[in-house]
Amino acid sequence: MTAIVLVKDAALASSLEAVLVADGLRVIVQDPQSPLQALPLAEGRLLVSEHRMLPFHLAEFLTAVGARSWGGLVILLTDDRARLVGSVEGLDGVTILEMPFVGTDLIDVIRSWTAPG
């Protein structure tokens, strides 16, 4: 599986990449300056992104991604989970991971999504 990482901080991007690669995923670290239309969603089934990297109208963006029949998982990284819950509630394939977290938290979210059942 391929993961796309979209974060502003290079150190965070590096850390996320290391955790994901260690778990056997291929990782594309997306340039935070590139437009959202450039996200290589056709190549990945997992998008790990700081919520502030995505549009203000987050639900609309995520619904549009889902409408493409992408079928992937979006993991939103935030330091304020409560602020995001309402905007993603009811959207399939979207989860929130509150920072700070450890790498195993990220892997647990991914494994729970990919687990059969």
Instruction: Please give the tally of structural domains in the chain.
Output: 1
Q: What percent of the chain stands above pLDDT 70?
A: 89
More confident residue, 114 or 78: 78
Q: pLDDT for 55-86, tens place per residue? A: 766 667 766 666 566 778 889 999 988 888 88
Q: Given this model, what pLDDT does residue 84 score?
A: 84
Global model pTM greater than 0.75: yes
Q: What is the arrangement of strands in the sheet containing 73-78, beginning at the earlier edge strand?
A: 26-29, 2-6, 46-50, 73-78, 94-98
In a domain, 15, yes or no: yes
* Domain at 40, CATH number: 3.40.50.2300
The range of the structural domain enclosing residue 13 comes to 2-110
